[in-house]
Homo-oligomer: A and B are copies of this chain.
Amino acid sequence: MRPLTDSPIARDGKVLILAYDHGLEHGPVDFEDVPATMNPETVFDIATHEAVTGFAVQKGLAEAYYPSYEDDVNLVAKLNGTSNLWMGEPNSAVNWSAEKAADLGADAIGFTLYGGSNHEVEMAEEFRDAQETARDKDMGVVMWSYPRGQGVKNDTKPGTISYAARLGLELGADVAKIKYPGDPEAMAHACDAAATTDVVMSGGSKTNDEAFLRTVKEAMDAGAKGLAVGRNVFQRENPEAILDGLEKVIFEESSVEEALDAVEGNGKQATLE
């Protein structure tokens, strides 16, 4: 366990991971709202925003683009993932060895665990190997802890989310990415369950600015150490604006209103330029 204060993917102990593995997990359909985001350069550029402390991509994108961005972006090497053409019980192929991620200069690894899937045991053992290599290579460890599959009827039930957070702690992740369980008390419980493992909220599908920022604020107040977000940033016309707002909420303890001002200020600024 490496405390976030020491981590290259944190700023003042807080984390904002921009995730961009949707091309693998969901396919190009996720880029339809903002077609420019199909081009990884667009999203690598977004990732240089100073609020973004880590950028999570699959091996292919990292090989092709990270060398040009390594001074401006911290790399979270998302080691596993699978297309949504897959019809079996939830599972994720390990597409990238942790060793090669280290060779490319990754600051942390990202790894999905589907607790409750009939592949849970197999995925946990793959996580073990990746986590132990990450320790050897001095990379951080972020777990996408998503209960799913035969054993999970409701994957946003508070008890399930708290369990997901705890799995991050028990199995040795520095950071656990979990879904927001719907209310601050439940989120606080999940953060407590994770103890020294820092919890980041998963951004989920796109919502409006205020609703999104309010939820992030609730999560932070409940004990989360940040956010891992994809579509709620890159599916917006002005992703920098929402990042300005997130920066306020996550790193500056601002109110939702202040954050909304920042979003709108950026919007105007963009208009004025």
Asked if A24 is an interface residue, CB under 8 A from chain B, the answer is yes
- Nearest Cβ distance between residue A155 and chain B, in whole angstroms? 10
A16-67 contacts to B (CB < 8 Å) = 21, 23-24, 27-29, 31, 38-41, 58-61, 63-65
B85 and A171 contacting across the interface, CB-CB below 8 Å = no
Pick the interface stretch among A7-15, A94-102, A204-212, A240-248: A94-102
Contact with B along A142-154 (1 / 0, CB 8 A): 0000010011100
Interface size for chain A: under 10, 10 to 19, 20 to 34, or 35 or more residues? 35 or more
Asked if A5 is an interface residue, CB under 8 A from chain B, the answer is no
A168 and B60 contacting across the interface, CB-CB below 8 Å = yes
A108-160 contacts to B (CB < 8 Å) = 115-116, 118, 120-122, 124-125, 127-128, 131-132, 135, 147, 150-152, 159-160
A24 and B166 contacting across the interface, CB-CB below 8 Å = yes
| A29 vs B28: C-alpha distance when bound (angstroms) | 37
Asked if A264 is an interface residue, CB under 8 A from chain B, the answer is no
**Knowing that A38-B193, A93-B120, A94-B125 are A-B contacts, what are 19 other residue pairs whose CB atoms are under 8 Å apart, sorted by A's residue number?**
A1-B63, A21-B170, A24-B170, A24-B171, A27-B159, A28-B166, A31-B193, A38-B192, A60-B170, A60-B173, A61-B170, A65-B196, A82-B121, A83-B120, A83-B167, A91-B121, A93-B124, A95-B124, A100-B132
Interface residues of A (CB under 8 A from B): 1, 21, 23-24, 27-29, 31, 38-41, 58-61, 63-65, 81-83, 85-88, 91-97, 100, 115-116, 118, 120-122, 124-125, 127-128, 131-132, 135, 147, 150-152, 159-160, 162-163, 166-173, 189, 192-193, 195-197
